[in-house]
Chains A and B, each alone.
Chain A
Amino acid sequence: MIRVQQEDFNVGAEVAALSAGNHAVGGVAVFIGVVRDMAGDETIGAMTLEHYPGMTERMLQGIEAEARERWPLEASLIIHRYGRLQPGDRIVLVATASAHRHAAFEACEFLVDWLKTKAPFWKLEETSAGTKWVEAKSSDDQAAARWHTAPGTDTSDAAE
């Protein structure tokens, strides 16, 4: 399931709901993205996440469908927020449930890497020097690119 929303989410309730009643689940992996207060040497007062309504949902659904093809997941959830956020605020929740931990861990990391390079969100940071659009990082592209090999066979550049 995917959700794009302005409001915060309750991590405990979301994770509990993900595997509720499904006793085939042996493990749930969770990633929570949080707003930092520093970008390089600049102190961040707040940031605004803009997105492309429609395409965002489409991309997240596509990425989730791909994860469920590649790993034996019992359930998955992506929640991504938009709007104005402050340091300490949660931005994104990715949770994956599977019979065994490896699939849950790998699929969770895959989803985070891919949404960072595919999902149409843009961060506008507010600092003492003014506002600035965050530039994409090539390290994020590299992190996503390593998933082009099949799961479990990636022995080359997995170490980051």
Chain B
Amino acid sequence: MKLLYFAWLKAKTGVAEEELTPPPEVATVADLLAWLATRGPGHAAALADLSALRVAVNQEYARPGDPVGPGDEVALFPPVTGG
């Protein structure tokens, strides 16, 4: 699974992009976020406030209950501020 981090999530996790293999019990976006938060202090800090977080799976906005799988591209970012 390809993970992407944008804006301050990139600074907090210390990575822009990483290739990870979550355990098989990670089936949804919510599972994935909970698992990612255990991967170190940077990830824990980035994921501390889930209300400040948006998630896209394969470049579409996703909800906590949406499924995630091994081949997916999952992006984590704060609410957008373009325009």
A: which residues have CB within 8 A of B? 33, 49-52, 54-55, 58, 80, 91-92, 112, 115-124, 133-136, 140
Q: Size of chain B's interface in residues, with CB distance under 8 A?
A: 16
Question: B6: shortest Cβ distance to chain A, in Å?
Answer: 6
Question: A83: shortest Cβ distance to chain B, in Å?
Answer: 13
Q: Give the chain A neighbours of B77 by CB distance below 8 A.
A: 52, 120, 122
Closest 4 CB pairs of A and B: A121-B82, A136-B79, A116-B83, A122-B7
A-B contact count, CB below 8 Å?
A: 70
Q: Give the chain A neighbours of B59 by CB distance below 8 A.
A: 52, 54-55, 58
With A55-B56, A55-B59 as contacts: A121 and B80 at CB distance below 8 Å: yes
With A58-B59, A124-B7 as contacts: A51 and B83 at CB distance below 8 Å: no
- Identify B8's interface contact among A54, A112, A119, A133, CB under 8 A: A133
A33 and B83 form a contact (CB under 8 A): yes
